[in-house]
Amino acid sequence: MALFKLTSRAYTLLREVARSGPKARQVRRAQALLWLHENYSAQTVADRLGMSRQTVQRWKKQYQERSQDSVLERIQEGQHTGRWPEQLRLARKEIARVWRRDPRRYGFRARNWTVPMLRCLIHRHTNTSISRSTVRRALRSLRYRYKRPRLTLARRSPTWRQEKGG
């Protein structure tokens, strides 16, 4: 296996990141590269970090391939795209379709939409269970506002003493 050597500037920057880096993944990459520089094998580094040897070798290869970038850019990860939020898309579509309509039209006994009612409606139409937080996230992303209607009077009537017999 070929030796892995860092420049003195790269070594000091990586040591600084390994000591007090803001992101744990960058810290682990910096530690791995420092240990490889100190002639530890990829398997030893992987065992220390609790990961596979292939991951350590991939980090080393990526670091070497990005030689035109700065040291900090070389240890950063690519952007994580994640899984497409299918349920959120589904919830947004259903909510946008029914939001302006009266809930009584769909068999609910209320004048305003609530999160449980929207969940029930989405389940009826799509046969998919969606969490309350997903419905709330969909409402926020559509920029809809909702609040629970007040069930008690906000202020006392000016004639409340007479009504109570006082």
Question: Does residue 148 sit within a domain?
Answer: no
The radius of gyration computed from the CA coordinates of the chain, to the nearest angstrom, equals 29
Q: What is the pLDDT of residue 148?
A: 67
Do 66 and 103 belong together in one domain? Answer: no
Q: What torsion do the CA atoms of 33, 77, 27, 68 make, to the nearest 10 degrees?
A: 50
| pLDDT the model gives residue 105 | 94
Residue 164 covered by a domain: no
Provide mean pLDDT across the span 78-103. 87
Asked whether residue 113 is assigned to any structural domain, the reply reads yes
What pLDDT sits at residue 149?
65
Please say if the pLDDT value at position 82 is more than 80: no
Residue 157: inside a domain: no
- pLDDT for 77 equals 80
- Identify the helix (H) or strand (E) that includes residue 111: none
Count of domains for the chain: 2
Mean pLDDT of 119-129: 93
Q: Quote the CA–CA distance of 31 and 21 in Å, as a whole number.
A: 11
Per-residue confidence (pLDDT) for residue 13, from 0 to 100: 92
At residue 80, does pLDDT exceed 80?
no
Q: By residue range, what is the domain housing residue 23?
A: 8-74
Per-residue model confidence (pLDDT) at position 1? 53
Domain match, 136 and 103 both: yes
pLDDT of residue 36: 94
- Reading the block at residue 100, the tokens are 């302006």
Lowest mean per-residue pLDDT among 13-17, 125-129, 134-138, 147-151: 147-151
pLDDT at 46: 95
Query: Do 60 and 36 form a contact (C-beta atoms < 8 A)?
Result: yes
Q: Are residues 115 and 67 in the same domain?
A: no
